Structure 1
């Protein structure tokens, strides 16, 4: 079967790539301006490093961790002195998988038990997220300019910024999730390269199901990263489900685009099995490997519950005792989380629900020292505070942005908008199923990079396609630059309450724009 391929410029700034139909319409597999792309990425990465690493060791609570750092930093340090085994004796139960705490422990191993040690890996992860967002959006849009816009938005996005400067878990999950997303975007391009090669050889029509695609290492890499995300927090399961469906959708679209006679059956026969292996089996293996120190121990929490709390034999007697013990261990941790409900009387002054997260209507106070213990603001009454709050110039516009993504994905059938929307939804939609549970705004950290990508795609629409008139492009570029300036100015205004710098109580009140921020 003949397949018609229409060439399209690979490096067009802001070019529109529609969802593929029965005929392949784009033969570009990535931007071609590689040297400029890496230079731009390096500059944005350096800017991210400067913002994330400046005064990284400040503030502390008299030399000790702040907020939930007090849980994870201490648990991470225990790993170093206990053969990478976590018992959490101070709290009686380990409430999250170990990968995030292992990441913190690496920093403490390198730099010691101090603020630099327990925050350095989080900061480097934050820098890596900015770089990944830049590269991913550049590849999706075939535009280094749009990738640079996405990178700048990520640098000055305050939720990612603060999370990169705290020894907590969410920034690591965000890193692994964004990395997995990027791997699947590259895998999509690689699949289409292989399909194009098969079309050039005239072998597309040899089977109703299309060609076999061979080993897909980028998808394998996505599976490894998803396993690390699951090993950081169990909410990684949502991304495994969504990204698995996304990968299958990419495969169906590729087979349709290159004229495979039975693309759905071809995907079912040739692609779904390997996808389950790569995006379900591999994550499970990586998750289990993260517990190797626990499996190797004799004193780990719930290490030998089979025969005690868990009866031997029975319906699940065929499951190895070590694995049954881990399942029991995980169930107890989940039970702890599920018990933190409002109906059971568990309330926190800074908790929030997912319907407030997209616009950052209820932020989270990480650190606060009142005027009696603070000096340095040149007034008699000073305050130091860190408030996890989204930059209003982005977060307050998130609902219109999501509406535009939905329109472009459904009506215009643009795959880029649909994938970003799905990834963003994986970070927030599942939480609506358990509204009674105690929740916090930092649950949005893994979704924040996809919000940034969404805004970058919207700004690409504002900028206009590469073949638009000069006047159209200049007007679009002016609007984009003005918006970036507003975001940066907004970030600079919030800087004192993002970093804990001493400010007057009057200035503190001016920083709190909404009653719900107080």
Structure 2
């Protein structure tokens, strides 16, 4: 066990450093706000100055983290996006931790982290001041912490369970779409605990659910603290709950049609990606296409299907849990009352595919290293390099250069 911990620590350190370096290269390019940065960067500036409420349809934490990044690195493109790179790296390491805790293989966990790094959606969101990078980091981190508690010594179960509960609460404080994961955690805990009393030893069902609810809610509401010190229309305890209703009304309002809108059933097939940027800027035509790595996104569907079949045939809990996690992350959007959908809502589901793929290879291969997983990662890396110019806002030769990457007409 000590050897496994040592190897996993070194692997995680190496992966984290490499991911952070990759996400940080040319981070300040382009020098203008990209896509929804036009909403969140001004909101972060306003919050940093404690002026007034801004971007009221979402909870505050994502904007607070962008504001903190600006406070540390300056009100520059680097400052807007620096915190997102840390969130991207945290997401990659969270994938590593989930796979390590579930399967006990440093190799499989490393492949999962590599696929997350090479998944275009994680890369793009790790380099932009939007809410998705923070949402992904807190949800994945929360799941990892709850799994960490699952087989911990009794004295350490409760603190680790509290950590996971807090991270899920903070995820909800970034976007409400994280709230269902608190419910998923409760359902998953109860389903496993009633069958295996040795899991989360010393933590009763009642205590676990109470802690999950109380800690996640406390973490969520604590992020509203800066709103109490705004110079204009400061928050009060009497206004705190009515503010939640106001946020709900803003999030469920009927919006006008958008050229990049898409339905949730289309997201797994990457039919309608989004051009976050495509225009002359900083002396050249540059583009940022928000699209999943096709091999990860489409291959991941095969992995999820196989995991579901494998669970049905063998009742291996890990296989069923990972297939269900991906399916539930997509099904959320069938229930959420939003008038428009966008491909970037699939961000978390794409991250879970990076868990499902190496898990499927691992379970299929048994104790033997999977050569097929190695080649899968190689081809995913080749696609990442191929698409990198339109993921990183590199200079393109002309305004029609994008056509060489358009595999489907709907990508245009």
Both proteins in one fold, TM over 0.5:
yes
2:81 pairs with 1:119? yes
Q: Is the 8 A contact 1:49 1:127 kept in 2?
A: yes
Please point out which of 464, 480, 486 is paired with 2:373: 480
Q: Summarize the Cα distance change of 1:214–1:397 in structure 2 as closer, same or farther, 3 Å threshold.
A: closer
Distance 2:169 2:339 in 1: 25
Which stretch of structure 1 is more off in the superposition, 282-291 or 442-451? 442-451
Deviation of 1:458 (Å): 1.5
Q: Summarize the Cα distance change of 1:280–1:425 in structure 2 as closer, same or farther, 3 Å threshold.
A: farther
The equivalent of 2:166 in structure 1 is: 224
2:389 pairs with 1:496? yes
Distance 1:189 1:436 in 2: 38
Please point out which of 133, 151, 157 is paired with 1:189: 151
2:64 pairs with 1:59? no
Deviation of 1:457 (Å): 0.5
2:247 pairs with 1:333? yes
Distance 1:214 1:105 in 2: 34
1:135-150 equivalences under 5 Å are 135-150=97-112
Distance 2:390 2:156 in 1: 51
Q: Summarize the Cα distance change of 1:437–1:299 in structure 2 as closer, same or farther, 3 Å threshold.
A: same
The equivalent of 1:390 in structure 2 is: 292
For residues 163-208 of structure 1, the C-alpha deviation after alignment (integer angstroms, 9 at most, x for no partner) is 0000011110111101110011111112xx55xxxxxxxxxxxxxx
Q: Summarize the Cα distance change of 1:121–1:508 in structure 2 as closer, same or farther, 3 Å threshold.
A: same
The equivalent of 2:53 in structure 1 is: 87
Distance 1:412 1:86 in 2: 56
The equivalent of 1:45 in structure 2 is: 16
For residues 230-279 of structure 1, the C-alpha deviation after alignment (integer angstroms, 9 at most, x for no partner) is 11111121111111111222322322x79xxxxxxx99xx7232122221
Find the residue that maps to 2:151 and give its secondary structure.
helix
For residues 149-176 of structure 1, the C-alpha deviation after alignment (integer angstroms, 9 at most, x for no partner) is 1111111011011000000111101111
The two structures have a TM-score, normalised by structure 2, of 0.93
The equivalent of 1:460 in structure 2 is: 362
Distance 1:431 1:54 in 2: 33
For residues 68-92 of structure 1, the C-alpha deviation after alignment (integer angstroms, 9 at most, x for no partner) is 111111111112211xx6512xxxx
Deviation of 1:298 (Å): 7.0
The equivalent of 2:129 in structure 1 is: 167
The equivalent of 1:69 in structure 2 is: 37
Deviation of 1:398 (Å): 2.9
For residues 345-373 of structure 1, the C-alpha deviation after alignment (integer angstroms, 9 at most, x for no partner) is x1100111111111221111111105xx6
Distance 2:9 2:69 in 1: 27
Deviation of 1:116 (Å): 0.9
Deviation of 1:289 (Å): 1.1
Distance 1:81 1:299 in 2: 11
RMSD: 2.4
1:306-385 equivalences under 5 Å are 322-323=237-238, 325-341=239-255, 346-370=256-280, 383-385=285-287
Distance 1:87 1:241 in 2: 29
Distance 2:348 2:135 in 1: 6
The equivalent of 1:26 in structure 2 is: none
For residues 453-496 of structure 1, the C-alpha deviation after alignment (integer angstroms, 9 at most, x for no partner) is 0011122134x222x5xxxx5xx32x222211110001111101
Specify the structure having the higher radius of gyration (Cα): 1
Q: Which runs of 5+ in 2 are unaligned?
A: none
Q: Which runs of 5+ in 1 are unaligned?
A: 1-29, 195-212, 259-265, 305-321, 377-382
Find the residue that maps to 2:289 and give its secondary structure.
strand
Relative to its length, the structure with more helix (as a share) is 2
Distance 2:5 2:335 in 1: 44
2:208 pairs with 1:300? no
Deviation of 1:447 (Å): 2.6
The equivalent of 2:303 in structure 1 is: 401
The equivalent of 1:319 in structure 2 is: none
Q: Report the count of equivalent residues.
A: 410
2:231 pairs with 1:273? no
